[in-house]
Amino acid sequence: GSSPRGTWLVSDRTYTDFLLEFEFKLGPMGNSGVGLRFPALGDPAFDGLEVQMVDPRYYPEETIVGPEQLTGALYMGIAPDNQVYRPEEWNRYRILCEGSFVQIVLNGVLVVETELSEAVRALPQGSPLSARPLSGHIGFQELSRGDSQVQIRNATLREL
């Protein structure tokens, strides 16, 4: 957990091309993300990339949430092709960043494969994905409500 909500555990170093793998588990009000290639200053989700990790129950019932805000998404940018998140179970991410190519595999299922250089549309916040840095920090976010902190295990990072 974190206090205040919305804190990040951030790498000291910056990374460009890499393969990041880890397992995560969220409670019913769990919300987190993994920030990729973000600068030292600014919001990792909007000044770099964030791969979303959220239990759908995090959002109030009356809130309308788009697929680009669900687990597997490049947050607010690219929705996952499939929703294979398993609530309150261990889930596994495999995230490949190589140049402008990004591939996200969740629980063994390819959910996003994109060329950031082609993602030029304006977004509700931050610059288009094509304008985001190709090098930066990696970090894990804690944004859960109540006692639903994110758990991370078996994290490995391999530079390419």
> What tens digit of pLDDT does each residue of 43-75 get?
999 999 999 999 888 887 777 889 999 999 999
Cα dihedral sign, 155-157-95-33? positive
What would the mean pLDDT of 121-146 be, rounded to a whole number?
Answer: 92
- Asked whether the beta carbons of 55 and 120 are under 8 A apart, the reply is no
What would the mean pLDDT of 22-36 be, rounded to a whole number?
Answer: 92
pLDDT at 144 over 80: no
- Say what the pLDDT of residue 3 is: 58
pLDDT at 1 over 60: no
pTM equals: 0.94
